[in-house]
DNA sequence: TATATGAATACTGTATACAGTATACGTAAA
DNA sequence: TTTACGTATACTGTATACAGTATTCATATA
């Protein structure tokens, strides 16, 4: 009789702290007005400063947090220039992912992506948060399907920044039906097997999203 | 009379440790056979474990180091699949940088890039290391010129991995004259103002480098 | 000779102490 | 009332201690 393996990597408090801070940023419990101080957070968690400090450094390195005036960290805000660059970086990562998928031209995979898009856009609640998650699910599925761990790591890096939540949410929920068509058109382009065309379509899609951002005045 | 500002950010030991470890990896003082242990390194540096530990975590997060069997870290090796993905990620980043430069079509900038290429490829010593540095200088200049901080961060992330030194060195130094032409051809493509063409040229150039890697049997 | 077990050592995660720097606040003087 | 200065507090970087887990080694037994 075989037993189930009990071997597990050692769980670190720093990782749990990281996850909780990230969640607090995403659900608004920590805002861009807040100053995140090692000692204060350690007291809140009831642990020592060491794992808190390690988690905060990791988030700083990932661009989620920045050093605050008077000590501590804050959610890293980005200006219009950096927002443009963030969208450009998305074009680079996700455009190339589309290119790789078009080269592979895997029909079953493309069908699966269509299902993911349909599922993700079947929203129960048309809130900003629900829309952000749907958009993230779709775009991440495409990059994940490219099976390139670096592109996925860079994608997560871009989307995990605290400001991304508000940035990448669709501007108006009334765009939903339009957006649904847009995503399926991406799979159409991938299915064409033309890698440059697929990349261009993804780049155009993301650039459109950026244009909507600028037009909304949110930046 | 005005005085020179003395205000400087606080220097951290962890940053100095990071720089020294990275340099030791690049010049071969630390090899892929070595196991890097927090306590051992702290003793060598004559400091406590805390800054060493922070530096090692940072390198692990950047993909330079990986957790070793029996404790400690080692240089993160990558297999053939990951090498392919690393070149793909380069295509994504550097291809898009070329695209942005073609869109900008700044003649003075392009001239400056030509000078950088000529300088970088005027090698005094045709060693693997010299060649790696020349190649890095050229490719990084192009990404830096794109003025997108995310692309540059991702570029550095890819090139800073310990294995990158051997990966991205040109196979044979006799390729030098060919390589020199290749890089200038990239600027030709950028100067054409055709963004898709410039991107394709960069992608082809990097793919060629990957093909040479595979043919050399180094992977 | 091979295997099992106990002890020693290696290594790490976290807690806490200490020292230094930055900032805020209260008070006194102009 | 404003400014300057001293003190208190905030905050952080690093050192060191402690405890737990993993690995290695030596010895005993089969």
ipTM of the complex: 0.82
Residue A66 shares a structural domain with residue A47: yes
Residues A61 and A111 both lie in one domain: no
Q: Which of B56, B75, B94 is the last residue of a domain?
A: B75
Q: Are residues B86 and B153 in the same domain?
A: yes
| B58 interaction partners in chain A (CB closer than 8 Å) | 57, 61
pLDDT reading at B115 higher than 80: yes
pLDDT at B207 over 50: yes
Q: Chain B interface, mutation test: which of A7, A92, A143, A194, most B Cβ atoms within 10 Å?
A: A92
Within a domain: A2: no
Nearest to A149 among B82, B148, B157 (CB): B82
A198 pLDDT band (50/70/90 cuts)? Answer: very high
A60 Cβ under 8 Å from any chain B Cβ: no
Instruction: Return the closest-CA partner of residue A96 out of B187, B64, B61, B98.
Output: B98
Residues B49, B15 share a domain: yes
- Answer whether residue A3 is part of any domain: no
The confidence score (pLDDT) of residue A174 equals 46
Whether B1 maps to a domain, the answer reads no
Answer whether B88 touches A (CB < 8 Å): yes
B54·A58 Cβ contact <8 A: no
Q: Are residues B207 and B99 in the same domain?
A: yes
Q: Inform me whether the pLDDT recorded for B48 exceeds 70.
A: yes
The domain total for chain A is 2
Within this chain, do residues A93 and A147 fall inside the same structural domain, yes or no? yes
Q: What is the pLDDT, as a whole number, of residue A170?
A: 47
Residue B102 placed within a domain: yes
CATH no. for residue B48? 1.10.10.10
> What percent of chain B has pLDDT above 90?
53
Provide the CATH number for the domain around residue A151: 1.20.120.530
Is there a contact between B77 and B67 (Cβ–Cβ < 8 Å)? no
Q: What is the mean pLDDT of residues B112-116?
A: 95
| Residue at A35 is within a domain | yes
Same domain, B108 and B62: no
Owning domain of residue A206: 80-215
Comparing A53-67, B52-66, B174-188, which segment has the lowest mean pLDDT?
B174-188
Q: Assess if residue A105 is contained within a domain.
A: yes
Q: Is residue B119 part of a domain?
A: yes
For chain B, the straight-line distance linking the first and the last C-alpha, in angstroms and rounded, comes to 62
B67 CB and strand D closer than 7 A = no
Distance CA A157, CA B154 (A): 10
Residue ending a domain, choose from A18, A43, A75 = A75
3-state SS assignment for residue A42 = helix
- Strands, DSSP E only, in A30-188? 65-67, 73-75
| A90 and A68 together in one domain | no
Q: Which residue of B has its CA nearest to A63?
A: B150
What sign does the CA torsion over B60, B63, B65, B68 have?
positive
* pLDDT tens, residue by residue, B89-108: 999 999 999 999 999 999 99
Question: A218: pLDDT confidence band, cut at 50, 70 and 90?
Answer: low
Distance separating alpha carbons of residues A57 and A63, to the nearest angstrom: 10
The answer to the question of residue B2 being in a domain is no
Report d(CA A148, CA B16) in Å as an integer. Answer: 32
Q: In whole angstroms, how far apart are CA A79 and each of A82, A89, B151?
A: 5, 15, 17
Q: Would you say residue A215 has pLDDT above 60? A: yes
| Confidence grade of residue B116 (pLDDT, cut at 50, 70, 90) | very high
Are A201 and A164 members of one domain? yes
- Residue B36 DSSP label: B
């Amino acid at each position: 009789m075989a037993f189930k393996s009990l071997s597990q990597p050692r769980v670190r408090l720093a990782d749990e702290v990281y996850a909780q801070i990230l969640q607090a940023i995403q659900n608004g419990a920590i805002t861009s007005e807040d100053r995140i101080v090692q000692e204060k957070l350690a007291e809140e968690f009831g642990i020592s400063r060491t794992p808190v400090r390690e988690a905060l450094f990791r988030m700083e390195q990932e661009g989620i947090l920045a050093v605050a005036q008077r000590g501590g960290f804050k959610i890293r805000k980005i200006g219009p220039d950096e927002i443009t660059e963030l969208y450009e970086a998305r074009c680079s990562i996700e455009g190339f992912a589309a290119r790789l998928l078009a080269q592979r031209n895997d029909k079953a995979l493309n069908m699966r992506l269509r299902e993911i898009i349909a599922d993700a856009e079947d929203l129960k609640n048309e809130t900003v948060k629900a829309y952000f998650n749907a958009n993230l699910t779709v775009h991440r599925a495409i990059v994940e399907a490219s099976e390139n761990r670096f592109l996925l790591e860079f994608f997560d890096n871009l989307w995990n920044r605290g400001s991304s939540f508000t940035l990448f949410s669709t501007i108006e929920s009334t765009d939903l039906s339009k957006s649904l068509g847009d995503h399926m058109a991406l799979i159409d382009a991938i299915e064409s097997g033309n890698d440059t065309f697929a990349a261009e379509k993804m780049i155009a899609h993301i650039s459109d999203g950026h244009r909507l951002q600028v037009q909304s005045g949110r930046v």
